[in-house]
Amino acid sequence: MNRNVIILGIVILAVSFGALSAGAAENLQPRDEVLKTLIKVNDHYLRKHPDPLLGIPYYSRKKVYEANIWTRAVYFEGLMALHSIYPANRYYDYAYKWADGFKWGMRRDDTTTRNADNYCATQVYIDLYRLTPRPEMLTKTKAIMNMLVNTPQIDDWTWIDAIQMGMPALVKLSVTTGDARYAEKAYDMYTWTRNVLAGGLYNSKDALWWRDADFVPPYKEPNGRDCYWSRGNGWVVAALVRVLDELPADAPHRSEYERDLKDMCAALVKCQREDGFWNVSLHDASNFGGKELTGTSLFVYGMAWGVRNGLLDRDKYMPVIVKAWNAMVNDAVHDNGYLGYVQGTGKEPKDGQPVAYDSKPDFDDYGTGCFLLAGTEVYKL
């Protein structure tokens, strides 16, 4: 074959492949539209919750929860992410009123709790401290993190949601203070959950996590496969992103976190629905299958961060991100900013059902937070 013909063929293939990759990126919602969508969704939330200190009613349990529980803390994680790309004063003021109103403390103002759900809010306190540092903002955060460091237990995180609620707080404080002990404790607690609890909640074969010891085999889904809950795995993805976003390039254990994020994202690509969403059960579409926003948002968050930071291959992951983000924007975001397809609280596919376009989960804050985290990373692409 003529050498010039071969070269021309290679060039055509390269151009075609580049065009396909660029086309995927071009099909993504334009950056200004991404921001408008985030503002619309957040404005809906702020209209519904003008006072960030009001208790959160949980009608089915006939209880009212303090407004600094994990569900609200996740919302503020998303709000601070949005503030990082669009620093409207009203966002900062709202977040500051919340943190200061709770005296920069944990749920029930308990600095002795080892429940990561109850100290998830410390992640946001650290973010606010970095903007306007005053010692009293981190007094209680340091107290609880010092307790974790100064006690030998590493077996606190017995459910994978806790990895997101707790690990980024320790690493953020480590980077903020320069004290490596916090990051080391986070690693020890993470690896215990990953490798030791019930034989390890991370299944390296599937590169996915069982939600807690109850779901380790022989537990099976109706179709006979292992149960991997979408949002639970999303929490781990988010935790890894939030940790990697903090750690310097030469930090101990960074390569292990990177490996886990890469492997999980590769596994998640295989589970994506044709419409762009992920099911609540990653390996069994028949078990309460259907569109679900929170897991989808957290996977987009992780993949978009990975692409932007060169950890994930852009040509492979952009079509996945584009399909998922556009699906959420077109199918889940209501005209007034309300979010549909949010699974209510729980720990497995059957919980928090039904999940539909107009369903109303028991809490509306964490879904908004997850969506804001995803959209902020999409905006940065």
Q: How far apart are CA 266 and CA 316, in angstroms?
A: 10
Question: What is the SS3 assignment for 44?
Answer: helix
Give the Cα separation of 225 and 36 in Å (integer).
40
Looking up tokens 């955060």 gives 141
Of 122, 95, 107, 75, the residue nearest 363 (C-alpha): 75
**Lookup: tokens for 105:** 């403390």
The DSSP bridge pattern shows strands 63-65 and 56-58 to be: antiparallel
In sequence order, what are the residues at sequence separation of 6 or more whose Cβ sits closer than 8 angstroms to the Cβ of residue 359?
Answer: 340, 341, 342
Using alpha carbons, select from 195, 301, 197 the residue that is nearest to residue 256: 195
Q: State both tokens at 302.
A: 């992780």
212 carries an active-site annotation: no
Helix or strand (DSSP H, E) at 63: strand 63-65
Q: Which residues neighbour 351 within 8 Å (Cβ) at sequence distance 6 or greater?
A: 343, 344, 345
| Spatial distance between the Cα atoms of 78 and 69, rounded to a whole number of angstroms | 15
Whether the Cβ atoms of residue 155 and residue 146 lie closer than 8 Å to each other: no
Tokens of 336: 């007034």
Contacting residues for 102 by C-beta, under 8 A, at least 6 apart: 53, 66, 67, 68, 109, 121
Residue tagged active-site, from 117, 127, 161, 364: 161
Yes or no: say if 370 and 294 are a contact pair by the CB < 8 Å rule. Answer: yes
With b for 16 or more beta-carbon neighbours within 10 A and e for fewer, the 25-52 pattern comes to eeebbeeeebbebbbebbebbeeebeeb
What amino acid positions are annotated as catalytic residues? 161
